[in-house]
Chain A
Amino acid sequence: MSYNASFERLPISACFDLKGAENALVEWIGAEILPGFPTEANRRRSADGLSLDHVGPRHWLLHADIDREDELNAALRPHLAPAEVSIVRISDTMTTFRVAGADVAHVLAIGCPLDLHETAFPEDAVTFTEFFGQKALVRRCAGGFDVSVEQSYGDMMEDCLTRALR
């Protein structure tokens, strides 16, 4: 049988890896630039085209469209950051697949061990997990899920998804 779902590989987007205590990051970056910190683990907070994912202890990912990368880089000043925080531009290290359709939950279940039911994985949920054996960032999008993997696994993921959808 085949599933009622499809996937596409999204164009590159801007992504910055932020590590450190929340107050140290706010002090360096300035609260007005960030969309606010998510209050719970593995949750996303979005505002003004930016989103901030709380993906680990003292660890966040800041996402935006790629055309805002230079602006954000200038604001975050990764190369000048103090020792208490780490800011790394990682836009080109990840590649993202958008998987959507009526059967998307079945397709995700083939490659991902997470409970993705909306009661366990609500609208603003985001987490690192595994997808077809590789570390992957999973979050919801309209009608499905966005799954990001380290970009060198991109072709392999494309192959895995193609076979899963057959």
Chain B
Amino acid sequence: MMLIPCPFCGHRNESEFAYGGPVKPDRPDPHAASDEDWVDWLTTVPNPLGPVEERWWHVKGCGTWLTIWRDTRTHCVVEGSGDAG
């Protein structure tokens, strides 16, 4: 079980949230980026051994979208909540 810190509600059970995917780097300019960089941005999902920045939606709670850092080795939230809104 994971407790996710919501900026509005405080720590809540992960079952109240929907996973919004990892935070991706900014979209490169498709006209300026190489094919390799463009395909990498489109298809490669960040999957580090360690902290990964993720978006979560408090869909069964207050409706806030938030950003946390989750350590993939321990499943612990090591930093959050980033932004509300």
Contact = CB atoms under 8 A, between A and B. Distances in A.
B37 to A, nearest CB: 36
B74 to A, nearest CB: 21
Question: Would you call the interface of chain B mostly helix, strand, loop, or mixed?
Answer: loop
Interface string A120-137: 000000011110001110
Contacts of B59: 135
Question: Would you call the interface of chain A mostly helix, strand, loop, or mixed?
Answer: strand
A130 B15 contact: yes
Contacts of A129: 12, 16, 60-61
Interface in B18-54: none
Contacts of A42: 8-9, 62
Given A128-B61, A130-B60, 15 more contacts: A41-B8, A41-B9, A42-B62, A56-B8, A56-B61, A57-B63, A57-B84, A59-B62, A113-B12, A113-B13, A114-B12, A114-B13, A127-B62, A129-B12, A130-B16
13 contacts: A56-B8, A56-B62, A56-B64, A57-B8, A57-B62, A57-B64, A57-B85, A59-B63, A113-B13, A113-B15, A127-B61, A128-B60, A130-B16
